[in-house]
């Protein structure tokens, strides 16, 4: 009997006997959040596998075993869930299903060992979580670092533009002084443009008033008031 059928048989017996979770065979693997997945279609990527198995919990690590020379998938791998209880759901619900014509084999892993890294085949010293979502704080830190890097690039450009020697101990002071001067010049340019705009607005208002006055006088000349003479009866 293959592993797929054996797991199904054990689960059915537990349901029939009404065993508690502590008496279940899953309880033997309560300290491991890893599962083994076999029978995967060879053209699936790590992202594809995560899409299938993440319906039962957040996946934080995946190791899809590939051929070292060709890089092609060997059709099996290991997944780690954030919550160990997700492994029970994955084993119970996904073991034995057909995926793109192949039957999946899903089972618990009691003592998972991280794959060796480097030329010396050294085991990783830190816990690998290559599929875990990036924390919001890390994203904010990344944005702050990007902003700081952009500011440094802008300062370097200004230093070159101002002709400041980057090796000069007073370079930072000269840069601040140059920035203040640039701001003052920018304000002067804006203020010098303001009177011209005011003149144009006043000119438009004056032109409108004179046009209105001429129109009124012309209308008045064309429609002179008529005197009405009263005739006394003869």
HEC string for 168-179: CCCHHHHHHHHH
Q: Which residues contact 113 (CB under 8 A, 6 or more apart)?
A: 123
Which DSSP letter does residue 111 get?
Answer: S
CA distance 108 to 113: 13
pLDDT score for 157: 84
Q: How many helices (H) and strands (E) does the chain have?
A: 5, 6
pTM above 0.75, yes or no: no
pLDDT score for 220: 57
Please determine, looking at this structure, whether the domain spanning 3-108 carries the CATH number 3.30.70.330. Answer: yes
- β-partners of residue 77 are 37, 64
Query: CB of 35 within 8 A of CB of 107?
Result: yes
Nearest to 8 by CA among 97, 88, 92, 107: 92
pLDDT score for 168: 76
Nearest to 108 by CA among 26, 228, 177, 179: 26
Q: Which residues contact 82 (CB under 8 A, 6 or more apart)?
A: 33, 57, 58, 59, 60, 132
Domain extents in the chain: 3-108, 137-219
pLDDT score for 1: 45
Nearest to 131 by CA among 33, 24, 214, 42: 33
Beta strands in the chain (DSSP E): 34-38, 59-66, 73-81, 98-99, 102-103, 105-108
pLDDT score for 35: 95
Tens of each residue's pLDDT in the chain, 234 residues: 465 566 566 666 656 555 545 556 678 888 889 999 999 999 999 999 999 999 999 999 999 999 999 999 999 999 999 999 899 999 989 999 999 999 999 999 988 887 776 555 555 545 566 666 666 555 556 666 667 777 777 888 888 888 888 777 777 778 888 888 888 888 888 877 666 566 666 656 655 555 656 655 655 555 555 554 555 554
pLDDT score for 63: 93
């Amino acid at each position: 009997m293959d592993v797929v059928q054996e797991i199904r048989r054990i689960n059915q017996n537990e349901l029939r006997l009404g065993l508690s979770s502590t008496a279940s065979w899953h309880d033997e693997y309560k300290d491991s959040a890893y599962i083994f997945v076999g029978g995967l279609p060879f053209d699936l990527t790590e992202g594809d596998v995560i899409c299938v198995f993440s319906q039962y919990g957040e996946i934080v690590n995946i190791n899809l075993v590939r051929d070292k020379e060709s890089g092609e998938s060997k059709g099996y791998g290991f997944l780690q869930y954030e919550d160990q209880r997700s492994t029970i759901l994955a084993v119970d619900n996904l073991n034995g299903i057909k995926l793109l014509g192949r039957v999946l084999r899903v089972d618990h892993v009691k003592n998972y060992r991280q794959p060796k890294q480097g030329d010396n085949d050294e085991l990783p010293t830190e816990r690998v979580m290559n599929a875990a979502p990036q924390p919001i704080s890390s994203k904010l830190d990344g944005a702050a670092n990007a902003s700081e890097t952009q500011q440094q690039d802008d300062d370097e450009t200004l230093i070159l533009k101002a002709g400041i020697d980057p090796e000069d101990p007073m370079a930072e002071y000269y840069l601040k002084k140059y920035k203040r001067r640039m701001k003052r010049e920018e304000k002067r340019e804006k203020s010098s443009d303001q009177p011209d705009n005011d003149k144009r607005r006043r000119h438009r208002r004056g032109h409108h008033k004179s046009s209105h006055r001429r129109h009124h006088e012309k209308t008045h000349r064309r429609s002179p008031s008529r005197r009405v003479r009263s005739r006394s009866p003869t």
